[in-house]
Amino acid sequence: MSVVESHQDLTERFLEFFRTYYRDEIGVLAQHYPNEHRSLYIEYDDLYTHDRDIAEDYLEKPDEMRAFAEEALSLFDLPVDIDLSGANVRLTDTRDAMESISLAELEAEHIGDFVAITGQIEKVTKVDPNLETAHWVCQRCTTPTPVDQGRNEVQQPHECVGCERQGPFDLHVGKSDWVDQRKLKLGELPRSERPPAGSTARSTSRATCVTSAARTVLRIAPANRPQCSRR
């Protein structure tokens, strides 16, 4: 099978999944996009029930699979003329369908995977705006150059896309994309609250995170249950 065919196939499988499970939610998203809602949250449980292969692949290759899911979302037939091509798909697990690991079990092999971690929230920071895509304006020719930002230092363009010189550049704050970010510190559950090995008892706090260097976005669900997923 060619790469193109397999890509189309994955997009089609996500489309089929959305038609079966998320027609109403996508309708609501379309009504409120992009001002109030920007993301479609999909339950791991639903994905696994519908298509076990793509559910398992999603845990191993979250960035790749999310791209297919978002492409499918952009192709979804809507009764209204709304373009959802900038909307996010976020995998979540409020039904505890994913196998959960403890902090102590988190290892290098999990880097890049999508994992559910059981722990207790020890600290929550205030909301801080975080630069997601910086909009740089060349001081010499005023051409704007957008640059996706990483986690740490602010990244400038290597060269201006207009005049190909190395700036200098000014950050256009209003045209840059910012995201509100809160940091949560997750600690081990106290021994008395840890479920016995092999039990499926629900934990008091649970976070679903991508353990890659990529930024995560946190969504606090009711009953002290943090949900965190890639944007």
Q: Could you list the residues that contact Zn ion (CB under 5 A)?
A: 138, 140-141, 143, 160, 162-163
| Cα 130–chain centre separation | 15
40, 29 contact by CB (below 8 A)? yes
- By beta-carbon proximity to Zn ion, the closer residue of 137 and 209 is 137
- By beta-carbon proximity to Zn ion, the closer residue of 33 and 136 is 136
- By beta-carbon proximity to Zn ion, the closer residue of 59 and 160 is 160
Element (H, E) at 208: strand 206-210
- DSSP label at residue 197: T
* Structure tokens given for 222: 């009711």
CB of 68 to Zn ion, least distance (A): 36
**Left, alpha or beta for 14 (phi > 0: left; psi -120 to 50: alpha)?**
alpha
- By beta-carbon proximity to Zn ion, the closer residue of 31 and 166 is 166
CB of 174 to Zn ion, least distance (A): 20
- By beta-carbon proximity to Zn ion, the closer residue of 128 and 170 is 170
CB of 86 to Zn ion, least distance (A): 27
Angle at 211 between CA 209 and CA 217, to 5 degrees: 45
CB of 141 to Zn ion, least distance (A): 3
Strands 128-138 and 114-118 come out as unpaired
What are the CA-CA distances from residue 181 to residues 124, 156, 211, 214 (Å)?
11, 21, 17, 13
- Rounded to whole angstroms, the Cα distance separating 24 from 146 reads 34
* Structure tokens given for 111: 């880097």
Strands 169-171 and 144-148 come out as unpaired
CB of 50 to Zn ion, least distance (A): 49
- By beta-carbon proximity to Zn ion, the closer residue of 125 and 166 is 166
CB of 146 to Zn ion, least distance (A): 14
